[in-house]
Structure formats: C-alpha cells, structure tokens
Amino acid sequence: MRQARFLSPSAESSVSLYHCVSRVVDRQFVLGREEKDVFVRMMREYEDFCGVRVLSYCVMSNHFHLLVEVPPKKEGEVIEVDDGEFLRRIKPLYSKVYYRGIEQMLERFRADPGGVGGTGADAAAEELKAKFTYRMHDLSEFMKGLKQRFTQWYNGTHGRSGTLWEGRFKSVLVEDGYAARVMAAYIDLNPVRAGMVERPEDYRWCSYAEAMGPKATRGRKKVREGYGILLGEKSKTGRQKMQGTGLWDEGIAQRYRMMLFADGEEVFSEDVSSGVAAGERKLKLVRKGFKRKEVEDVLARGGKLSFGEALRCRVRYLSDGMTFGRRKFVDEVFQGSRERFGEKRKSGSRPIRGVGWQQKQSQLYSMRQLMKDRIS
C-alpha cells in the first residue's frame, strides 16, 4: 500500500527539507558522463520552475541524491507569480513554438479589457497560468517532473521506451540546522564511499565539486547559496543567503570542508589466502577511502567509527528513514502522523546508535517505519 510522505509540523508556514533518493530500474549502471550532465541541467531548470531549492546533490551511475528545500504551501494554495516571472520559468522547459503560443495567449488576454467570453482578462490569464503553477512549491511535482523529463530525453537518445526509474522516490524529512548539514555532507561523500574518488571535489556531479569549481557558473552560485543556508548565513527574510564569493572563500568553504574531513586513500594489507604462492607478496584492498592510520585508529577504538568516518559509510538512517533531526523535531512529526503507527509505539524518535555522531546536546535521532511499498 502506498503512503504519503511525512510532512514537517510547520510545512504550511515555513520551509521544509527533504533528502530524496531515486534509483534506476534494476539498479543498472546506465548514467554516464553525458547523462549526468543533462540530469544536472534539467534539475536546475525544474528547480527554478518549481521554486524549490536543491541545497546538495549527487548523481551516481544508477541513482541520485537530492537535499531539497521546499517553501511553505497550504493545501490547495495557488502560487501567484507575475506574467514576466511565469514566462521566464517555463521558457527552458518547452519548445520555442509552444512557449511562444503561451506568451501570445497571455498578451492577448491582457490586451482585451473585456476578457474572454466576458470572464475578464485577468481571470483568463490567471486560469492559463494555473495550469502550470500548481506544480510550484511542491516536492512531489518537482521530483515527478524532473524524472519524467529526464526519462523522455534518455529514451529518445538511446532508442528505448518505458520507465527508467524504480517506482517513485524515497524521502527523509530532515530538520533544518545541524541535521541538514550532516545530510548534505553524507550526500557529497557518496562517490568517496563508492571508491570512485578520494576527494568529493574530484567528482564532477556532486554539489561540493560544483561549489569548488573554478568557473563562475549559475550552478556554482546556487550551490554556494545552498551551503550558505546550511551553515547559517542569514538574510533579512529569515532564510540564509550568500552575499558574495568572498564570504564563501573565507568562511563557509572552510567550515563545510571540516565536515567532509581529511583526504582519503585506499588501504591495503597483505593477502595471506591459500591462493597466494609461498614467498609471493600480494596486497589486497581492505577499505576504500581510508588511510592506514585511520584503520588502525578504528581498531584501537574497538571498531567504533568517528563522525567523519561514519559519513563515509552507508547509513541506513539517512537513506531509508522517514525523519531525521533532534528528538523534539522527530517526535513532533510522529505525533502529527500517529495514526500510521501501532498503538503500542509510544514515541517516534530513535537514537542513531554505534557512532559518536556529536556532542550530547546535538544528539540526532531518526524515525523509521519498516513497511514494504513505502513511497514518498
């Protein structure tokens, strides 16, 4: 049975953050360099159209991760944008012919004082725009539109048909602040965990690499603004916003880099298996992305991982959970969705175990719902 995603207790009055994950059918490795480039371009175009903000992302060969900030929206609310902004947002999404048709219809409505059929010019123009704007400030519509657009391009390019993605998408509701910063670092470290690169800035299709890139692109600006939000550079509107590259260079880059921790190297040990001939010395890979000293430190701690090391592992709470944040936040979400759990369950929050994630005052919790066929 499909279930709706969990909503923030204040989703109608303040922004909400979601970690979204979607995988290719059968988890096939079909996303190459060109496909990843196109996906990132489409993501930015549809992000702009929907009015959401992608704070962090990583596109892998068979799946992708997004940390998305969704503006508040009441049920049934119609997002109002002026004609110029509306046309700017839809222009990258449609053909020149289709776009020009929409533009001409709006011009005709605004130029006719009596409107269409006596309904009034403004009413006719707003009705036309509403056919598009209902998708704005909506996470499900953003993910649906992005995946559909990319699938159409991929199928046309590769001469195939049918779906490209497994089901819809998974999402984890993330608390703003420290929990969001942890989630962003986890997303950026995906290629390191996979052993594809030693440093996240070396992987072209993640937000950290784009932020560190030498070329001043619109995408780099948006990523840096996203990190400014995550690291608390507030604007007058209450949300955080970058005020120029100087602020990024001097403060935010260093603070975020500390979360991503030191360089990583592959660790090898001597292979003493029966398949190695006597007197022959052969090395085998022990762990991807860690230095030998780091492995020795882990063993000295009895196998416990530090916070930085844990982010280089796949953490089920960050990918398969329902909500992620401090205890109060998680329990508020639980109480707002109480009917979806059994009567015996008293609370929603569960501490993340096995890792020294942070100081006690910043302890993070997760809420998991172990049910099949859960969707976002």
Whether 105 and 222 share a structural domain? no
Beta strands in 237-282 (DSSP E): 267-270
Evaluate whether residue 109 is within a structural domain: yes
Looking at residues 121-149, what average pLDDT do you find? 90
Evaluate whether residue 11 is within a structural domain: no
Per-residue pLDDT band for 340 (boundaries 50, 70, 90) equals confident
Residues 4-52: tens digit of each pLDDT = 566 666 666 678 999 999 999 998 999 999 999 999 999 999 999 999 9
This prediction has a pTM of: 0.73
Looking at residues 322-347, what average pLDDT do you find? 79
Identify the pLDDT of residue 324.
Answer: 78
Alpha carbons 312 and 182: distance in angstroms, whole number: 12
Identify the pLDDT of residue 99.
Answer: 94
Domain range for 293 is 267-303
Whether residue 163 is predicted with pLDDT greater than 80 in this model: the reply is yes
Whether 185 and 222 share a structural domain? yes
Whether 223 and 361 share a structural domain? yes
Distances from the Cα of 185 to the Cαs of 40, 259, 265, in angstroms?
18, 7, 18
Residues 348-357: tens digit of each pLDDT = 777 766 555 5
Identify the pLDDT of residue 3.
Answer: 54
DSSP string, 75-133: TTPPPP--HHHHHHHHGGGS-HHHHHHHHHHHHHHHH-TT-STTS-HHHHHHHHHHHHH
Rounded to 5°, the CA angle 76-81-85 comes to 145
Whether residue 375 is predicted with pLDDT greater than 80 in this model: the reply is no
